Each structure stands twice: as structure tokens, then as C-alpha cells.
Chain A
């Protein structure tokens, strides 16, 4: 796929990337924000 073939822009493209990222990590913690997590919490998991 070329960049030009994609209808996606930077803003909406990143929004949808983050939908996937937050879904992957946050769907069981719906009230948390992605950036709530500190290093220590990461390292526990």
C-alpha cells in the first residue's frame, strides 16, 4: 500500500491506531485513561 493510496490522514489515522491500542490494553479497565499507567504498574505485569 502506498501512502497516497490510503484515504487516511495523520489525525484520524492515529486516532484509529489508538482505538486498537486502548482496546488491547484497556477494555477491562474502562474507567482508566491510557496514560494513567506508571512504570511501576507496567513492571508488575
Chain B
């Protein structure tokens, strides 16, 4: 099957004039439609590229942007540096990790790039979220022009971004893997296509608003399906990560294939 697709690193011009890296995998001939693939906080990883290739093998143009490919971010937001930004926080109890006073006690433990990332999380979070959403809107605007059906799928951070962007652009099919619900939950009324939500059973903060998601999906009569996998943890679908759960992951993949097959045939 690998021979049936083409994979390439390319670029696209986003809203602020920067060119972002884009992993584009697609069938050699023909395409059923475009599916945007939105990353975990770790960025454009091997996992994300492999997932994009699996979609391409199903006949889709899969488009995975690298949010961290602006010049100021490229060498800062690496997997290793993001991990460096997380590691010092383990020294604090979970309920103290957002406490400014408690954070002062561990600031010396951050690497230089880890501190830059952590500062971005604490001080620059709103701006960065807006930027990523506008990056996705820009990608949508470019690829929806060809008249093909549009899908989106995202994981964790990318799941939250996909959910939010699906309230702002007209996607035919949205898949959310354990992502945050839209901040304004009533934005759900603006979703135009179908939504498939996939969640881990043991994922407290992500799942805390799922009751509201279900409620609004019913209230606004949306085409919505959801699967929660008991006994699994956040990122269970990531087969390069330690919370990978093979049975749940295999089942979720079958659901994703069927879902896109139905809405982007």
C-alpha cells in the first residue's frame, strides 16, 4: 500500500505571511477529499506523519501543518524541549502547578528552551491558540478552493483545535481524539458537518465537559457520534507513546475509517 501514495514536505502561506511546513500525503491518482491532520502538543511527529499516510492510503489528501515552523519557534518547540518544559513541574503537587508562588521554587530547573516554552504556556497561551486556529483557517481556505470535501482530525491539543475550527469553517466530517470542548460550548450550533468524538475513559480534565457537548449536540440537532474507551488513558491512540492501547486504538481506527467513508466517500 505504501507504493500507492506520495508523501512530501511542502509549505503553505498562513494568515500572517509566514510560510509553515506542511506534511502532505496523498494517493498517486485521484482523491476522495482533503483531511487536515492536527497535532498533539508535540508537533509534527513520526506518529502524526504515519497517521497521515494511513489516511492517504484510504484515498485522501492528508494535510498536517507544523505550527512550530515559524523561524522563532523552529528550534525551540522540539519534542525534547517540550518535555524539558514539563519535567520540572513533576516536583510540584498537581494542585500547585499553576500557582505562581510554587512555580518560583522550580524556575531554576528549566532549561533555557524549556523556560521559553513554559512562558509561552503561561503568558502567551491565548495568542498562541489564536495563531494556531488562524493557521488552520488559512490552510482550510487554500485547500477548500478546489471544491473537494473537507475533513479534519486532531489529537489532544489538535483535537481541541479541530473541534473549535469546525465551529468556524464548514467541514464535512470532524474527528476529535481526546480534545478540549469549544470554550463557548454553544459554538457547537455553528458546526455544519458530522462529528465523531473519541475519548479515553481515564482522562479527567478533557472529559469534564463532555456532558455539555452531548447536551448541545442534541439541542442543536447535530450529526454526532461518540465513543469512550473505559480503562484507557489520554493519548491511547498514539502507538509511539506509553499510554498506547492496542485494542482501543485498532477499534478507533475502524471507526475513523467508517466515519470518513460515510461522509467523504
Contacts and interface: CB of A to CB of B under 8 A. Distances in A.
Indicate the size class of the contact surface on chain B.
35 or more
A31 to B, nearest CB: 9
A41 B160 CA distance: 29
Contacts of B181: 3
B206 interface: yes
Best-buried of B45, B212, B243 by chain A (most CB within 10 Å): B243
A39 to B, nearest CB: 5
B240 interface: yes
B47 interface: yes
Given A10-B180, A13-B180, A14-B156, A21 B185 contact: no
Interface of A: 1-4, 6, 8-27, 30, 33-39, 42-43, 45
27 contacts: A1-B208, A3-B180, A3-B181, A3-B183, A3-B209, A9-B129, A10-B179, A10-B180, A11-B121, A13-B180, A14-B156, A16-B98, A19-B89, A19-B90, A21-B233, A23-B90, A24-B233, A25-B243, A30-B87, A33-B83, A34-B79, A35-B45, A35-B241, A39-B239, A39-B244, A42-B244, A43-B246
